Structure 1
Amino acid sequence: MNEYLAASAVVDHDHPAVRALAARHRALYPADDEAYARSVFEWVRDEIRHSIDAQDPRITLTASQTLAEGVGLCFAKSHLLVALLRAEGVPAGFCYQRLTDDGDTFMLHGLIAVHLRGDWHRQDPRGNKPGVDARFSLTHEQLAWPIAAPGEQDYPGVRAEPAPQVVKALSEATDALELYAGDLPDELQIIRS
C-alpha cells in the first residue's frame, strides 16, 4: 500500500496548503478514516468547481494548483482528492472511464478509488449538477456516469499515479475549455504487468 500513500509531483500532499486542509478535516474525525474520506470527498466535489461547469479556462494539474485555483477538470479534482486522502494515511489511487455523449466521440473521465474496509471503492469527485448526482459510498457506487453506451468502459485497476497521457495533456494545454472540446485523450493505454 505504500505507493498508494506516496507524494509525487502531481499528488503533492506534502504541500503546506494541502496538508492544512487535510488537517482541518482530520480534526473533525480524528479516529474515523471513513468519515474523514467522506468529508474530503464532499469538500472537493462541492467546493472545487469543475472547469466546464464554471466555463473557466484555467488549467490545473497538481493537487496544490487545484486547491489554490479552486477549479479543475475531473482529473485535477481527482488529484486533489487523492492527495487529501493520502495526507492523512488513507490509501487512494486513480481510476478512469471511457465515456461518450453522442456515441461517436469518446473521452476519458478521471475518478478515484479509496481503500477502506479492506477493499477499493471508486468515488467520483467531478461535481454534481442537474443529471449528475455522485455520492460517497462504500456499499454501492454512485458515480457521475455509469457505463451505459456501446464503446464506453470502466478501465480496470487502481493506479498509484495519474495516467501519463492525462498528465501530458494537462501539462501541454493552455485552455481547459479547448482541451475538453477536443484534445482530451479518448482511450487509456492499459498497462499489463
Structure 2
Amino acid sequence: MELVQQDPDISAYLAASEAVDHGHPVVREIAHRLSFAHPGAYAYAEAAFDHVRDDVPHSMDTGDPRVTWRASDVLELRTGICYAKSIAYAALLRARGVPAALCYQRLTDDDGSHPVVHGLVAVLLPGERTWARQDPRGDRPGIATRFSLGEERLARPVRPELGEVDYPPLHAEPHPAVLAALRAAPDLSRLERTLPAELGPVRLP
C-alpha cells in the first residue's frame, strides 16, 4: 500500500509531544543504552523494535489493568496496548533522529464482526525513499512479527473481504480518537469497551 505523509515537513515526525515524549529521562536512557549496544540507524531501529515488542508486554495478553499512553510511562511501567507500544517505539526512534510516524489498520474477527483499530509505526531510515511499517504489538501463539524494511511482518495483514482496512495516512501524533480513548479509560476493562472501531480523517491546522 502507498503511505501518505499528512505533514510534508519531515521534522514533524521527529518532534516531541506530550504523548511522544522522547525528551523524558526514561526514554533517553533506554535510547542511549540501545544505541550504544547497536550503533547505526538500522541496527538501532531494529533493537528498539525488539525492545518494545519483547520487553513491554501487551496488556491485553497479560491482563494488566493499567492504561498507559505516554511513551515514558509505557517504557517505565512496561505495559500497554498496541497504540501505547507504537507511541513508545516512535519515541525511541525519534530520540535518535529517526523519523517515525503513527499509522493504523482496521481489523475484525474472522467473521467480520467486532471491528477495532490497530496501531502501527512507520519508519524512514537514512537512504530509504519509502516508509516501512512495523508492528511492535508483541508476539503470542499465531502472531509473529519482526522488524523489516522489505516484506512487512505485521501481526496480521488486512482482509478486505471482511471490511478490514489499511489506513494510508502517516500521523505525526496519535490519532485524536486513539488518544482520547487511552486518556479517558481508567483501566483496561473500560478501554476494551471504548476502543475506536474506525478512524475518520484528521484535518491539519
* AA in 2 matched with 1:188: L
Q: 1:71 aligns with which of 79, 87, 95?
A: 79
* AA in 2 matched with 1:171: R
Matched, 1:128 2:139: yes
> How far apart, CA to CA, are the structure 2 residues paired with 1:133 and 1:29?
23
Q: Which runs of 5+ in 1 are unaligned?
A: none
Matched, 1:167 2:179: yes
Tell me which residue corresponds to 2:191: 179
Matched, 1:96 2:104: yes
Identity %: 51
* AA in 1 matched with 2:116: M
Q: 1:18 aligns with which of 22, 27, 48?
A: 27
> How far apart, CA to CA, are the structure 2 residues paired with 1:183 and 1:18?
28
Tell me which residue corresponds to 1:113: 122
> How far apart, CA to CA, are the structure 2 residues paired with 1:89 and 1:118?
16
Shift of 1:157: 2.1
Using the size of structure 2 for normalisation, the TM-score is 0.90
Q: 1:4 aligns with which of 7, 13, 25?
A: 13
Using the size of structure 1 for normalisation, the TM-score is 0.95
Deviations 1:74-93 (A, max 9, x none): 00000100000000000001
CA contact (8 A) 1:56 1:177 kept: no
* AA in 2 matched with 1:191: V
Please give the secondary structure, in 2, of the residue aligned with 1:112: strand
> How far apart, CA to CA, are the structure 2 residues paired with 1:88 and 1:192?
28
Q: Which runs of 5+ in 2 are unaligned?
A: 1-9
* AA in 2 matched with 1:72: G
Deviations 1:40-69 (A, max 9, x none): 001100000001100111000100110111
Once the two structures are overlaid, the 10-residue window that deviates more, 149-158 or 11-20, is: 149-158
